[in-house]
Amino acid sequence: MKAARFTADEIERVAYLTSKGYLPVAVDVASRVFQVCYYDLGAKHVRNYQLSRVKFFEFINDTHTPRKLIGIEACGSCNYLCRYIEEHNHKCHILPAQKVKAFLHLDKTDRIDALGILKALITPSMQHIPARSQENQYLLNLITVREQLNKQFVQTVNAAHAFLYESGVVAGTASVASATKVTEALKALCNTETEKENSEDDCSYSHLNCISESLLSNIESLQTKIKEINSHLLSYASNNEICSNLQTVPGIGKLSAVALYAAMGDPERFSSSRAFAAFIGVAPVTTGTGGKTTVLGIRKSGIQSIKKMLYMCAMVYLRQAMKNGTESSWLKQRLNQNRSKKIIICAIMNRLARIAYAIAKSGQAFDETKCNMIKKLR
């Protein structure tokens, strides 16, 4: 790697950080190898080489080398790596992937990516993301697992509906709420075909029995797992102070409170409530030119499972407000203007996320006198 790839200003920033006791090192993370890149002030050139997973952890554990300020791009294992690095007396900055893109070239190799991460790391204006705690990481993982199990449950129930329909049985509408009807219909179909099986010399019943047992087993197993996770999350929500405070916000229940807290973690990870809303994906997109600014819809990026929960919270709040009335002047004005309900729901989602951040940071329950948009329902 040629020294010309580093400018005099960049070398000066490396020297300044090194004088503070930390050598800036960039790491491009992969599952089995790590690309390590840093500027060697003594040799006056960039060192950029690949380490195996074992060698990388030896590199971190080496007490005979200077302490390091390690920069890694946000990825699947970044929180674990950051905690591990800081436990071994180094510093670690998790850099937002979108911010790092500005320092990357059109060509893409591990060496080029590592060099781009290093240049991003030493840039004074570069913001970094604090690592999640292990407890918070596992809590967010549990929310994700719950979402995946729910998807599998819906798919299995829909598959059972399709099978029953092909067998001439209509067990209600294809929805999760009809899961009980589906299981009863599958058992009834097996019992009916059992009587025919004795008089017919074919394999129809054995096929039917295999299908029914598989579907019934999956439905019952998924129901049990989802109930166990829900029970665990509800218990956690009752014993956690922040989750209890979040439940004082109109429209937010126990599971939604846990999900918001899991997504947020330590409120200090975010510079403002808007930053948290943007992280989830409920902050509006703004665009403008020639002095004119236009506010568009919410972002497509973000944490989809949290956005889905916030959507349900906002929809419940809007329905109750329309049915029983509300003291929110903002909501009354929007309803009187016949604004689209989807636009109103997106605005409520954004406000709920920002209120959740404020509550978590202050440690206080919801106070409707400080919010014009969201008021307690009648």
Position 5 pLDDT exceeds 90? no
347 or 378: which leads in pLDDT: 347
- Predicted pLDDT of residue 170: 81
End-to-end CA distance of the chain: 68
pLDDT tens digits, one per residue of 15-24 = 999 999 999 9
CB 256 within 8 A of CB 270: no
pLDDT tens digits, one per residue of 64-110 = 888 999 999 998 899 999 999 999 999 999 998 888 988 887 788 99
Tally helices (H) and strands (E) across the chain. Answer: 14, 7
DSSP annotation of 301 reads -
Beta strands in the chain (DSSP E): 23-29, 33-40, 45-52, 68-73, 91-95, 284-289, 292-298
Q: How far apart are CA 61 and CA 68, in angstroms?
A: 11
